[in-house]
Amino acid sequence: MEEDEIIVRRILQGEQAAFRSLVDIHQPLVYHMINRLVDHEDDRQDVCQEVFLKVFRKLPSFRFQSKLSTWIATIAYRHTLNHLRRTKRAATTSLDKVSMKIEDHRPLADQQIDQNYITNQVHHMIRQLPEKYRIVLTLYHLEDMPYAEIAQVCDMPEGTVKNYIFRARKLLKEKLERIYKKEELL
């Protein structure tokens, strides 16, 4: 928290290098979130840029009531959702009736099942999940964010976060088991 305070104060004093280091520190978090939500690769960089410009504009209103990373993630999440709404590319899948329409790209019988191949398939399956599932999975697994912070970012109760993480993983498991036998994955 102290480091956050120092960097924010330096930026507010007009130190441009401090803003650059803020971008350097938080760009993996923002990029991971955007990468999982925005399907079009060309748009990802633009959205990242817009998020950081918004962070710069809103920084004077940051009151240190949460961690800087949580605040930035909240901005990134809301901005990305607005972007998806604007470009009408948002996943319209209902959370109650989630069905993943992934083609079963199973390797040929004589090919050995390669771990990287499966990992890529899981990544592809994640992209088919509803956006709320994708974001909670990303924040929990890639960013090691605690449930309370994820709840803050996504503006939902902690119980819902846990539920979404569980349901998302279960969906991935079911899909994977439809393509491979359990023994093949061990």
Partner 1 sequence: MKELTEAEIRKMLEEQSDVAGHQLDSQDIGVYEVIFTALNEAPTGGLPMDFSNRVGDLALNNALRKESRLKLLVQWAVAFGALALSALILWIFQPGFASQFHATWYELRWIITFSLVMFIGVQAADYIFLKRRKYRGES
Q: Which residue has the tokens 């990134």?
A: 76
Single residue of 49, 82, 87, 99 touching partner 1 by CB under 8 A: 49
| Start-to-end CA span in the chain (Å) | 42
Q: Kindly give the interhelix angle for 158-179 and 115-128, rounded to the nearest 10 degrees.
A: 130
Cβ(39)–Cβ(2) below 8 Å:
no
| 117 contributes a contact to partner 1 by CB under 8 A | no
SS3 at position 69? helix
| Number of residues forming the site for partner 1 (CB under 8 A) | 48
Give whole-number Cα distances, 141 to 33, 97, 136, 175, in Å: 11, 24, 8, 19
| 50 contributes a contact to partner 1 by CB under 8 A | yes
| 178 contributes a contact to partner 1 by CB under 8 A | no
| 19 contributes a contact to partner 1 by CB under 8 A | yes
Single residue of 73, 84, 126, 145 touching partner 1 by CB under 8 A: 126
Side chain identity at residue 183, one-letter code: E
Single residue of 100, 102, 142, 156 touching partner 1 by CB under 8 A: 142
Interface residues with partner 1 (CB under 8 A) are 16-17, 19-21, 23-24, 27-28, 31-32, 35-36, 41, 44-46, 48-50, 52-53, 56-57, 115, 118-119, 122-123, 126, 137, 141-142, 159, 162-163, 165-166, 169-170, 172-173, 176-177, 182-183, 185-186
